[in-house]
Amino acid sequence: MLRRRLNRLLGGDERRVDSRTIYVGHRSCSATEAFIPPKFCDNRIVSSKYTVWNFLPKNLFEQFRRIANFYFLIIFLVQVIVDTPTSPVTSGLPLFFVITVTAIKQGYEDWLRHKADNEVNKYLVTVLEDGGRIRKESEKIKVGDVVEVEEDETFPCDLILLQSSRDDDTCFVTTASLDGESNHKTHYTVPDTEKDLESLNATIECEQPQPDLYKFVGRMHIYKNDQEPTVRSLGPENLLLKGATLKNTQKICGVAVYTGMETKMALNYQGKSQKRSAVEKSINAFLLVYLCILVSKALVCTTLKYVWQSKPGQDEPWYNEKTQREKETNLYLKMFTDFLSFMVLFNFIIPVSMYVTVEMQKFLGSFFITWDKDFFDPEIKEGALVNTSDLNEELGQVEYVFTDKTGTLTQNNMEFIECCIDGFQYKYRDASSELDGFCVTDGPVSKLQQKAGREKEELFLRALCLCHTVQVKESAEQGQGQKDGQIDEVDGLGVDGGVIHPLQEQRGFIASSPDEVALVKGAMRYGFTFLGLESKTMKILNRNNDVEMYELLHVLNFDPVRRRMSVIVRSKSGDTLLFCKGADSSIFPRVRQEEVERIRMHVERNATEGYRTLCVAYKILSAEEYAQADAGLREARLALQDREEKLMTVYNQVETGMSLIGATAVEDRLQEEAAETMEALQGAGMKVWVLTGDKMETAKSTCYACRLFQRNTELLELTVRTLEDGGRRREERLHDLLLEYHKKAVQDAPPVKAGVTRSWSSAGQDYGFIIDGATLSMVLNSSSESNSNRYKNLFLQICQNCTSVLCCRMAPLQKAQIVKMVKNSKGSPITLSIGDGANDVSMILEAHVGIGIKGKEGRQAVRNSDYAIPKLKHLKKLLLAHGHLYYVRIAHLVQYFFYKNLCFILPQFLYQFFCGYSQQPLYDAAYLTMYNICFTSMPILAYSLLEQHICMEVLLDNATLYREIAKNAMLRWGPFLYWTILGVFHGLLFFFGVRYLFSNPALQDNGQVFGNWSYGTIVFTVLVFTVTLKLALDTRHWTWINHFVIWGSLAFYVFFSFFWGGIIWPFLKQQRLYFVFANMLSSVSAWLVIILLILLSLLPEILLVVFRKPRGPHARQLSENGLLQTSRLQLSHHYPTST
């Protein structure tokens, strides 16, 4: 990279900037010139993060960037350097455990990436060299190598197609792994190349690598013995991309033009940014509060120590004189080391093990999604998939859902419904009832039972059979096709009741879009069958069972800007015809206006019924017109600069003055339970936005079908159509419309009560908002900066006050822009994107939570998502049940961890007031180390994995429960304060309760007195039992695992205490707890105090559960619905102060 920049600066790289020259097969073009091969990168792919050498330093650096880890490292170092009251092991061991576990997890993930890279890089490919075929590892391919690829293999790098085994010099490719489209695309060889590639002498000039999958510009110079070199244009139709798969073609040869990290696939790989959940942010905020508590405790103790020591006789009593060295120590240094010692003594208030527990809870918890049988789809025989376990709880906090339409809300399964020819509707019903398969229902009333002329009908059906890029699957592979599910059964009835030949009855079609197959099949129902394309000749079987042949002269490809495609063909009689099909908005302006009205009615009616509509037009080209078009197209295709624009100009010149023949309607069915899912999400208080590349009318009808728009919803439309209505400048009109809608939806709208959505608020008017891509780019990229921000704010406020928003005609990047805009808006709402195709990847990566659907459009979305589900309907359970439970579990885990550590350390702080601030520990070192690791860690882990405070069925039936935990309700400052006060109350009770017991000197039968270690052990025993039983009280869903870990932890504590104090350990210098525990339990008073204190601590909790009445906005509803009442009670019990 650096070398490239230097070269560019020093002028040595001028030619790199625009284009590169590639020598095919590394052969020089002229015999006289010396051949110097240009340097390009190799074909290695690298997606891993670490290597063996840099893993340790890089990983440790990343881990210690986390506040908590860094803090514990400092504490550990202080313990090692300064003479502190506790051993360095107490904080070193937990830290070492955390770092090791995390490093192993990240190392394993990176090892998997290395493995995947190696599979790609070491894959063997065939390269043609010096007349022979050599097997090489994929990473050794160089730019200019001629590579051979066989059927069903993936291309190892970006290749220009030079030779194909098919007779018509084409090959078929699927690009599902690149752009999610699973259908077959046709690619063409470069014309005029030698059949024998060994003798081919050629250079390729093409643009520098760039990420756009659909753009490629280049030209090839072919040198033949001393003649002028012939020049051929190269476009995306000649380029085979790395990652795509060869289909339906035995083998091809191509020359490598881009390799390794310069291939389009590698340039498109957007590294996943680390997504952080809101809970993690809350943890960091709470950590800072506890850090302040810790520092203030240490400061108070240090200050009081020196105040106390300043009194005469206290600093140096007669029994404890100072050494000479102690007397000479600097006072301030001594103060500082004392402060550090107190910090170390109290540092357990910050729980290091919480991070491990949270990591384990997320990792293990994610398996419940994978194991959920409801997510299993029998069709694809797969269930849900979790790619990122860090975001489980975020599923319970979603406020905005952004969904794609095609393939997500709908099935992406096209079916031909009806067509309209010359203003007459032809609806396909059962062909046996209608003799000719046509049923004419509407159209002008006077002509109700009439049909279009036979000539028009045939012209329309010919257009459907010719204007497409469909290929017929070869009969030799019929069996193969059935296996792939590529072959479609088609009704075998001809128009005159005659039966189409059985060979045509089962015909497999391959096309770049499912719409095209549906149209070719539609024509087939009406007696026109497309037989295939052979060496530039298209064959059709017409109604009379005659084969018609047309020479294919040019294909004017479909593109999203023109939104139409055309073919130019020559019939047997010598007529040159142009057939064009496309969206109504792009065809109507290019045909005679008197023809439009007859068909517009049908198109609009079909669009409102939710069908995808296309209009069909034709034009007869005179010899001069064709010659001009032909010359223009050839010239534009050879251009290296601005090829797209030049082609567009020629296309637009040719596609004018056409005659409109008719229109077609194709249906894309809704996904099962799409409407119920959307309704549940809205009931749960989420705003649903539909972001689609489709037409507004189609998308609008899908929104109505999904119940996102109701019949009474007032639609606010901000599209190119509404901007051009006023006849003023677009920018002014945009401004006026935004202000008008803002007044309607924001200023005049009645204030919405919190937690109420439209199903309750019958008084106010519901608004739906519609915007298209062109208008959105005006809003986002307005000419002046101040306007742009103002428009953005107005637009956002309008959208936030609408029940649903529909954005149509969106480019993939615009989808991501919208998500980003909402994500960064006021209040930083949690966003979720769901889609199934590669065009949704950018928005899936942008949102807080990205969900991929394992649909028909390949697996690109699934690969980049955080979670993948087979169907849209599974989203309901994923959010309302799993998401809700995950959030409640982890919120409880975090609050409980801080609470139990506060209970743990507060008695230690209070103890300092009674031991002359001498940093004397209250608990033994073993207890300090084991408290968080062994005695109290398993019950909360089990709780945070298995708890269901409300059962799943209730959560699914009552979507409103989701709102109770919205906006991080259980980790706000209210609940945090409640838990902190509870911790302080318990800490005070433990310490002073035991101190009250010690006010009686004779606690044992023999009259002996308990010592300070007995005091600490009684406090610790009460502590362990109270915090564990507190969790048992909070548990609503008991399983054998909960019973095992809760009672098992308590039994382990008792067993460990006997064991630790009952043996003389050779490796301990002093054994503080020798027989202390057994001795303590011999006293009846100690038993009484332990039981009494545990009961006293838990009494408020028990009373709260018994006497609590339901409160909050839903109290009346609750009293009517017992089930909901109990469930909300359970919820409010989890965070008492939030309702």
Enumerate the active-site residues.
Answer: 404
- Cα(952)–Cα(517) distance, rounded to whole angstroms? 43
Q: How far is CA 47 from CA 275, 350, 464, 595, in A?
A: 18, 37, 45, 56
Q: Are 765 and 714 in contact (CB under 8 A)?
A: yes
Nearest residue to 158 via CA among 323, 268, 48? 268
Token pair recorded at residue 327: 């007397």
β-bridge partners, 797: none
Distance (Å, whole) CA 1077 – CA 1067:
20
Separation between Cα atoms, residue 236 and residue 11, nearest integer Å: 31
CA distance 179 to 365: 32
H or E element that contains 666: strand 659-670
Which amino acid does the sequence have at 1029?
L
Please return the burial class of 101, using the count of CB atoms within 10 Å of its CB with bins 0-12, 13-18 and 19+.
middle
Parallel, antiparallel or unpaired: strands 245-247 and 239-240: unpaired
Q: Which helix (H) or strand (E) holds 2?
A: helix 2-9
Residues with Cβ within 8 Å of 705's Cβ and at least 6 positions away in sequence, in order, are 610, 670, 674, 675
Check if the beta carbon of residue 812 is closer than 8 Å to that of residue 697.
Answer: no
What the block records as the tokens of 755 is: 């937690």
Q: Report which DSSP code applies to 684.
A: T
Determine the Cα–Cα distance for residues 237 and 159; give it in Å rounded to an integer: 11
> What is the bridge-based pairing of β-strands 767-772 and 804-808?
parallel
d(CA 136, CA 126): 6
Neighbour-count burial for 580-611, b at 16+ CB within 10 Å, e otherwise: bbbbbbebbebbeeebbebbbbbbeebbebbb
877: nearest Cα among 804, 944, 959: 959
Pairing assessment for the beta strands 831-835 and 400-403 based on DSSP bridges = parallel
Distance CA 240, CA 257 (A): 10
Helix intervals (H) in 391-450: none
From edge to edge, which strands make up the β-sheet containing 239-240?
A: 132-137, 124-129, 146-150, 251-258, 158-164, 239-240
Asked whether 814 and 776 are in contact (CB, 8 A), the reply is yes
- Kindly give, in sequence order, each residue whose CB lies less than 8 Å from that of residue 245, ignoring residues fewer than 6 positions away: 152, 153, 154, 155, 173, 174, 176, 177
**Alpha helix locations (H) across 452-539?**
454-466, 478-484, 502-505, 514-525
